[in-house]
Amino acid sequence: MKRLVSILAVLTMTATMLSAQIVPGMKYNQLKQNYNPKEYIHTANDPYSPGWIGVGSFFIPGLGQALCGEVGRGLAFFGGSTALGIGAYVCSFNMIANTNIDQNGKVTGFKNEAAAKGWTAGLLAIGAAGLALDIWSIVDAVNVAKVKNMYNQDLLSKHAMQMQVRPSVDLVQTANGFQPAPGLTFAMQF
C-alpha cells in the first residue's frame, strides 16, 4: 500500500511540474527551450501564420516578431537594420565626396582614391551585413510564429474541453426482430 501511495505521489508531482512549465503569458525566450519549430504542425486554431509573418519581416525587419507579441525582439532587428541603413548612407555620401564627377554624371577620377575605395568596401560590407540581417530576421520571425503557435496549441489542449454530439442509429432487438433506434452520441474530452 505504501508503495502504491508513493508511486501516486511521484506521478502527481511529475504531472504538476510538467504542467507548471507551460503557463499563460510566457515569452519566446522561455518557450524556445520547450519547443522545436521543426516539429510544428499547423492547426486551424493557430493565431499566427508563419508564412505571412515571414513576409512582414521581409519588408520591415522585426515586424514579424512584433506581430507575434515579441516587440523588444522586433525592435532589435529593426534597430539593427536602421543602423546599417544609416551606415550605408554615410559610406555612400563619403564615397561620392571622394569621387570626381563631370557635368554628364560620369566618374572622371578620384579626389582621394584610397578613401573612395575604403568607403566602397565599407558599403559592400554593410550591404552583405544587411542582407544577412534581413534573412536572419525572416527566419527568426517564422520560428517565433511556429513556437508561439505550438505554445498556443498546448494551452488550448490543457485548458480546453472538447465536446461532440453525433447522431447515431442502433439496432434494438424487439419481439418482431431488430428495429433501428435513432439517438445521439455525446462525447467529451478533457
Q: How far apart are the first and last CA of the chain?
A: 29
pTM for the model stands at 0.69
3-class SS of residue 102: coil
Q: What is the count of structural domains for the chain?
A: 1
Q: Does residue 40 form part of some domain? A: yes
- Long-range contacts from 33-40, C-beta under 8 angstroms, 24+ separation: 34/151, 35/146, 35/147, 35/150, 35/151, 37/142, 37/143, 37/146, 37/147, 37/150, 39/150, 40/146, 40/147, 40/149, 40/150
| Nearest one of 142, 176, 160 to 68, comparing CA atoms | 142
Print the SS3 string covering 6-21. HHHHHHHHHHHHHHHH
Q: Does residue 19 form part of some domain? A: no
- Strand 99-101 and strand 107-110: the pairing is antiparallel
Q: Does residue 128 form part of some domain? A: yes
Q: Does residue 129 form part of some domain? A: yes
Going residue by residue through the chain, which has 190 residues, state the pLDDT in tens, using 9 for 90 and above: 566 555 655 555 554 444 447 788 888 989 989 899 999 999 888 999 999 999 999 999 999 999 999 999 999 999 999 999 999 999 999 988 888 888 888 888 888 888 888 999 999 999 999 999 999 999 999 999 999 999 998 888 775 566 677 888 888 888 888 888 888 887 766 5
Which residue matches cell numbers 550591404? 127
Q: Does residue 185 form part of some domain? A: no
CB 112 within 8 A of CB 100: no
Q: Does residue 141 form part of some domain? A: yes
Owning domain of residue 46: 24-160
